[in-house]
């Protein structure tokens, strides 16, 4: 059964853009180009949201800076996934007091996942008077209207409605010219017991395939070479639409767009990754042979308590099937260490799973208690210090395997996409292999945006080093 979908009609976005034009008149009136700073925390979804904020701000006439002392508008786009992320945000928001004193009239906005939590919005209301505007992810589409009301009424505005919808037509200002994020869906239905995301981002909402494909076409026409399809669980794309297009079909439709470019995607939930997806990845020549498949734990007991809906055996079987279709598949993962009541035995299972899969890269996190999630009330007899010991052990394993995998590239010639400059003299360019491995190169910057062959000459845990082949 498709869920009922709320769509924010094109006219509503047009009305927001008309407000941008109005603000443009207002801020351009004193003759000097105003500047805005958008500072982003968290995942790629937040990066993609910040591109929308910048899109609106550009239509209002703002230029961009990363110096808060130069900015007339400061927007902090926040993350709530772990306590550490929230502490960093709060520290930086507090520090904005200095910039605001030096720049009277500066407007400070805090948006994103952290402030979608009522207790955090309250905390900002009470303890951070420097903040003029607070809005959650569901209100982003009406940022111009909210900003205008701060400008006009000279009082604080708080908007953290829970109205979940899909908005099309928000202007975007992308950061790079080579790589692009493309959101295909929003929200998450999975409610892993440790995770705050479903509470702050709402339920899964897919964009219509025709809207996604049209955006992909426009990106290819604009010269982008590396397109990453984004969603918290891209494998459940389309389930809410009832339009007969699933994620694998969507990849195929994008693969059919003429041009030389790569399709990437993240994140894939192991419970929904299908053989059809792996087959499609193998058959679509533009689809990168990389999958980010967060396992979270190697222990069946913990996976159950995490509400992940797969067990170790199913996960390992999935990896085996994927590798049968793509022997060169790069597999990366996320792992949580120290989930409530994770024992030595549970952790040993995680270590042995990592040895079995041999991940190309692992993103490891110490469990962080999130208010309102089921895991927050689970008894947990272990101390932070005990968890740190496991974390260090896992990091060591991750580094060893990634170093070994990188060494296997030495002496080989691989095709990479050159994506930018490193700012370093010896290896001045950075690039990525099809599987997403980082390769540092020496070469002319005119190579940026090109697919080239490089011979890998050296490597370490984090990167490969290569020479351009003529
Ligand atoms: N939707 C993605 C991940 C979103 S959050 C997925 O399901 O894979 C990114 C990662 O942060 C998660 O994979 C998880 O490893 C980690 N994470 C989420 N909540 C956490 C918490 N409370 N403490 C520690 N790590 C957490
Ligand atoms: Fe969080 Fe789980 Fe959803 Fe990922 S799938 S965003 S970890 S609830
Ligand atoms: Fe953080 Fe929100 Fe992403 S909580 S990880 S920014 S979805």
| Residue ranges covered by each domain of the chain | 10-159, 176-269, 289-407, 413-468
Q: Furthest-apart CA pair in the chain: how many Å? A: 67
Cα(300)–Cα(446) distance, rounded to whole angstroms? 50
pLDDT at 418 over 70: yes
Ligand sitting nearest the alpha carbon of 189? 2
Task: Summarize the confidence of residues 238-264 as an average pLDDT.
Answer: 96
Atom 1 of ligand 3: nearest residue by CA position: 79
Task: Summarize the confidence of residues 16-45 as an average pLDDT.
Answer: 91
pTM score: 0.96
State the pLDDT at residue 5: 65
State the pLDDT at residue 6: 74
Ligand 2 midpoint to CA 190 (Å): 6
Ligand 1 midpoint to CA 93 (Å): 24
Ligand sitting nearest the alpha carbon of 232? 1
**DSSP class of residue 232?**
T
State the pLDDT at residue 4: 58
Cα(265)–Cα(457) distance, rounded to whole angstroms? 29
Atom 2 of ligand 1: nearest residue by CA position: 232
Q: Which CATH superfamily is domain 10-159 in?
A: Methylthiotransferase, N-terminal domain (3.40.50.12160)
Q: How many helices (H) and strands (E) does the chain have?
A: 13, 21
For 413-468, CATH number? Answer: 2.40.50.140
The residue to mutate among 41, 191, 195, having the most atoms of ligand 1 within 8 angstroms of its beta carbon, is: 195
Domain 176-269, classified CATH 3.10.290.10, yes or no:
no
CATH topology of domain 289-407: Transcription Regulator spoIIAA (3.30.750)
Of 452, 459, 458, 412, the closest CA to residue 432 belongs to: 452
State the pLDDT at residue 1: 44
Ligand sitting nearest the alpha carbon of 79? 3
Ligand 3 midpoint to CA 86 (Å): 11
Cα(229)–Cα(251) distance, rounded to whole angstroms? 9
The residue to mutate among 113, 187, 336, having the most atoms of ligand 1 within 8 angstroms of its beta carbon, is: 336
> How crowded is residue 46: how many other Cβ atoms within 10 Å of its Cβ?
19
- Percent of the chain clearing pLDDT 70 (strictly above): 99
Common-topology check for domains 176-269 and 413-468: no
**Is residue 37 within 8 Å of 73, Cβ to Cβ?**
yes
What are the CA-CA distances from residue 178 to residues 160, 220, 431, 447, 449 (Å)?
Answer: 34, 10, 11, 11, 5
* Letter string b/e over residues 91-100, b meaning 16 or more CB atoms within 10 A of that residue's CB: ebbeebeebb
Task: Summarize the confidence of residues 357-371 as an average pLDDT.
Answer: 97
End-to-end CA distance of the chain: 55
Task: Summarize the confidence of residues 49-68 as an average pLDDT.
Answer: 97
Cα(258)–Cα(237) distance, rounded to whole angstroms? 23
The residue to mutate among 198, 268, 339, having the most atoms of ligand 2 within 8 angstroms of its beta carbon, is: 198
Residue with tokens 């891209």: 234
- Reported in sequence order, the residue ranges of 104-220 that DSSP labels E, i.e. its strands, are 107-112, 133-135, 157-159, 166-167, 179-183, 185-186, 205-206
Ligand sitting nearest the alpha carbon of 335? 1
State the pLDDT at residue 27: 86
Q: How many CA atoms lie within 13 A of 255 on its CB side?
A: 17
Q: Which atom of ligand 3 is nearest to the CA of 41?
A: 6
Average pLDDT score over the chain = 95
């Amino acid at each position: 059964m498709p869920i009922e979908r709320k769509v924010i009609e094109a006219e509503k976005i047009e009305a927001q853009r008309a407000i941008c034009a109005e603000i443009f008149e207002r801020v351009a009136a004193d003759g000097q180009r105003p500047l805005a700073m958008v500072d982003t925390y968290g995942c790629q979804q937040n990066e993609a949201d910040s591109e929308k904020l910048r899109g609106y701000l550009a239509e209002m006439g703002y230029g961009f800076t990363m110096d808060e002392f130069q900015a007339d508008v400061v927007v902090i786009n926040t993350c709530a996934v772990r306590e550490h992320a929230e502490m960093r945000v709060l520290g930086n928001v507090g520090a904005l007091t200095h910039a605001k004193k030096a720049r009277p009239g500066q407007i400070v906005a805090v948006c994103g996942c952290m402030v979608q939590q009522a207790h955090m919005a309250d905390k900002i209301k009470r303890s951070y008077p420097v903040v003029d505007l607070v809005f959650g992810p569901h209100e982003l589409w009406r940022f111009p209207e909210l900003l205008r009301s701060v400008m006009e009424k000279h009082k604080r505005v708080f908007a953290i409605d829970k109205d979940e919808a899909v908005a099309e037509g928000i202007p975007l200002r992308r950061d790079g010219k080579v790589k692009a994020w493309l959101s295909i869906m929003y929200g998450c239905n999975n409610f892993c017991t440790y995770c705050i995301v479903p509470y702050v981002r709402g339920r899964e909402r897919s964009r219509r395939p025709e809207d996604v494909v049209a955006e992909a076409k426009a990106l290819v026409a604009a010269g982008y070479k590396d397109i990453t399809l984004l969603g918290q669980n891209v494998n459940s794309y389309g389930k809410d639409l009832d339009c007969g297009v699933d994620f694998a079909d969507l990849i195929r439709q994008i693969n059919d767009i003429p041009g030389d470019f790569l399709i990437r995607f993240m994140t894939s939930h192991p419970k929904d990754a299908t053989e059809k997806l792996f087959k499609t990845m193998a058959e679509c020549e533009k689809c990168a042979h990389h999958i980010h498949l967060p396992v979270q734990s190697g222990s069946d007991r913990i996976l159950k308590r995490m509400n992940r809906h797969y067990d170790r055996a199913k996960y390992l079987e999935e990896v085996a099937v994927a590798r049968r279709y793509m022997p060169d598949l790069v597999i990366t993962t996320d792992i949580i260490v120290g989930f409530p009541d994770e024992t030595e035995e549970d952790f040993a299972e995680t270590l042995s799973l990592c040895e079995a899969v041999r991940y190309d890269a692992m993103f490891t996190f110490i469990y962080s208690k999130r208010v309102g999630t089921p895991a927050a009330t689970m008894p947990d007899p272990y101390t932070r210090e005990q968890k740190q010991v496991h974390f260090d052990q896992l990091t060591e394993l991750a580094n060893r395997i990634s170093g070994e995998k990188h060494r296997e590239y030495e002496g080989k010639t691989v095709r990479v996409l050159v994506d930018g400059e490193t700012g370093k003299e010896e290896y001045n360019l950075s690039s990525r292999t099809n599987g997403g491995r980082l390769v540092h190169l020496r070469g002319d910057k005119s190579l940026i945006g090109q697919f080239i062959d490089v011979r890998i000459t050296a490597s370490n845990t984090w990167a490969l080093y290569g020479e351009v082949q003529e």
